[in-house]
Structure 1
């Protein structure tokens, strides 16, 4: 599905949500990087899809004063050869195989699509200092009560179903040290979360529950989490 280009037959797929995801990532990532005084000179977006997150994250980092010498987007889908963006090099293939040592790596809604996420993350971490995840939390009442796992496996191809604890545990099992995390509340306003009639009428309730307890909101309706982790053994 990914390697034959089927998943991204529309190369703009998911692009409408990218800016909301980057806002959430930046809110959590930038203070950590500042506090730890990590240099960010190179950035790679893995499973970059339409390239929307890659572009928006590049702009966000540069706006924060980071001088990026290298920005890359990686995806196994052949559609990537059609993408062009000034200052970004898009590469078809696995970052763990063809990528260079990199200061910052993002995986935005990626690990739920792979069959062995622990091994997948560990291989990426061998070439990365700071690794940032944006992870859907599909282990929730809305999915479980309606028995939606089969549908999600078929489309959009979610193979693993996380809650906040299982997501954090997975990253730790992969050999990374978690520095900070928070719920991706910005994505409540994303277009893909406000398409259907049911989504539109439930949106105010989601926002209210999220204001009371983001954890409770994700356990009922689902949502996403942003995790910032570091490979302490990384040597550039």
Structure 2
């Protein structure tokens, strides 16, 4: 398979030196305590999961001190609701596969099945494909918009990121919260030990699921990213095609 095609567009040296390269996710590579230790989740690599009714699955919930509103799932096409389906991806259990043509994300399970989620994807000019791994996980991540995005959208000025050479710290960004574009969880994709700047993350914009409207990252309903996050370990392989 191809490597991350978007990498051809990004200058790695600029990313590593300035830390302010534009990314598919509208974020920058800012060091921080975002790694969550990998752990086993019995529902993924053990028994097949039993999904609750949709009114429960997409109900309002309290998580990490934030109140996530209920999702009007009736307004989302049924194929994009979380569901267990036969695994026809050809990938081994414990793999994330994003099918960009159908706006589906699969997490492969044992016994020939997969958990399928609807996703929102990048609009024209921001698409990407290839293989990577989940190297970091973040619970209610902070959002660091790139400088170019802030320049384009003055409303984002309060979140402009600056680097303090004296302390070696980055300042600015949007604090975690229900309106944060990265949502309740984020999975950070790396290739050959290098941050691709692409994320699989939550989003408060449930009406973007099944559409290509973001700046390139893979977004899920917050309730769905919380479910996926609980199943996924670090070093999980990811295929986007």
TM-score in terms of structure 1 length: 0.29
Which has a greater percent of strand? 2
- Larger relative contact order (Cα-Cα within 8 Å, sequence gap ≥ 6): 2
Which has a greater percent of helix? 1
